[in-house]
Amino acid sequence: MKRVYLVVVLLLVVNIGTRGIVEEENDLQKQYQLLEQSSIKTIKTANGVIYDCVDFYKQPAFKHPMLKNHTLYPQMRTKYTHRTIKAMSSNDEAIQCQVLMLENGGCPTGTVPIRRVSMDDLVQIKTATKNYDMRTTSNSLLTQPGQQFAIVQTNFVSRTTKYYGVRGIFNYYQLPRVRAPQYSSGEIIIRNGDDMIKVGWTVNPALNKDNIAHMFQYLSAGQSHCFNTLCPGFVSTNKDVSIDAGLVGSSKRGGLQRVISLFIYQDAKTKNWWLEICGIVLGYWPQQIFTKMADGATYVAVGGEAFNLPGQPLPPMGNGYYPSEELGITAFWHNFTVLDSNHQHIIPQQTEKYTTDWHYGVYDMMHGKEGRAICYGGTTM
Ligand SMILES: *[C@@H]1O[C@H](CO)[C@@H](O)[C@H](O)[C@H]1NC(C)=O
Ligand SMILES: *[C@@H]1O[C@H](CO)[C@@H](O)[C@H](O)[C@H]1NC(C)=O
């Protein structure tokens, strides 16, 4: 009797679970159709990606149940007191922040660019995201099969320390050999309990439908688990730059480096988490969507992540080579700092290196010429 009851309960749970996902998918499809209909201007990039310029308040972020009454207008952001960094490098051989801006004058004032996604793409992206999410948010501290990391992370001793921001400068590479469902990213991870944000660059054919390096954000908070603007959560505030922008060109190993600066911080007044790229504000994650990260993060990591199906060849990470301490020939994050509880930039000391496979490596240079530098990558080349 007890057993039957248990089965029924399980069936119910499974049923509710799948219905939830299907409903969510339908909602999202409807949402994207609506976006297409209310598009004020359409921009097609050189790579053939279409963006709809939609009213700031009609963007997907505001479908979040906690954001229904959200009235914060982008201009209301309290000015951050610390100067944000523009990507700079003492290395003359660097192109900084040559990215992002949408062609054709960007979107009109009061609107933001949202990538147009077809129904077919959406279904595939949803599946890829679900798998990604299952691996990423697994309660186990161990990584899941196929998921690879080469990172520097705050260690267990520091778990009571709060972090209110993180910044760094990274270089990026084009990695045409990455094939779906593989992906390869350089990223910063900020986490507190089940709340997590990842930001950086990625080659992710399942997500972007191409082999080009893109900017990305990944959000995991409450019911929102997705990349970029594909679920309610991340609010875009920039009319010229989209969070999933394709990156121009590629760093050359031993040659010209293409670098971008990144700054994520929690606004002390509004408690929203803001995202700046190259000193440009792209948007924010409203504090209402978080439970834990409403007040700081307890974990920060920086480096590379990649994925391959178990038993398949390992994808390139970084620039595809094992890292080096020479920034000109390696994938890196440099000038890496975090914001402490006084909102001061500090170089975190309680950290450890973490790699999942000997084919990938990570170096941590505490006092390099370019501040703290984390170099990562490996395999295939
Ligand atoms: C939004 O505002 C309405 C009317 O003031 C209120 O009934 C509702 O509870 C609010 N919702 C949230 C999520 O704050
Ligand atoms: C990076 O760090 C180095 C060494 O601390 C410093 O000289 C340089 O100004 C920093 N660059 C930026 C863009 O902050």
Backbone angles phi, psi at 265, to 5 degrees: -150, 155
Task: Determine the pLDDT at residue 377.
Answer: 98
Comparing 93 with 57, the larger pLDDT belongs to 57
Give the number of whichever ligand sits closest to the CA of residue 286. 1
- β-pairing verdict for 94-96 and 257-266: parallel
Taking the centre of ligand 2 as the mean of its atom positions, its distance from the CA of residue 344, in whole angstroms, is 15
Task: Determine the pLDDT at residue 36.
Answer: 82
Task: Determine the pLDDT at residue 155.
Answer: 87
Task: Determine the pLDDT at residue 244.
Answer: 95
Query: Is residue 17 scored above 50 in pLDDT?
Result: no
Give the number of whichever ligand sits closest to the CA of residue 368. 2
3-state secondary structure of 303: strand
Would you say the CB of residue 68 lies under 6 angstroms from ligand 1? yes
Least confident of 91-105, 260-274, 365-379: 91-105
Structure confidence by residue, pLDDT tens digits, 103-147: 878 899 889 999 998 888 888 888 889 888 888 765 555 667 888
Residue 196 DSSP class = E
Query: Is residue 258 scored above 90 in pLDDT?
Result: yes
3-state secondary structure of 10: helix
Mean pLDDT of all residues belonging to the chain: 85
Residue 246 DSSP class = B
Task: Determine the pLDDT at residue 158.
Answer: 67
Choice from 86, 335, 337, 347 to test ligand 2 binding pocket (greatest atom count within 8 A of CB): 335
Structure confidence by residue, pLDDT tens digits, 344-378: 999 998 999 999 999 999 999 998 889 999 999 99
Residue whose CA is closest, atom 9 of ligand 1?
A: 69
Task: Determine the pLDDT at residue 212.
Answer: 94
Would you say the CB of residue 69 lies under 6 angstroms from ligand 1? yes
Would you say the CB of residue 83 lies under 6 angstroms from ligand 1? no
Comparing 112 with 27, the larger pLDDT belongs to 112
Query: Is residue 224 scored above 70 in pLDDT?
Result: yes
Ligand 2 proximal residues by C-beta, below 6 Å? 85, 88, 335, 370-371
The token duo for 5 is 């009851």
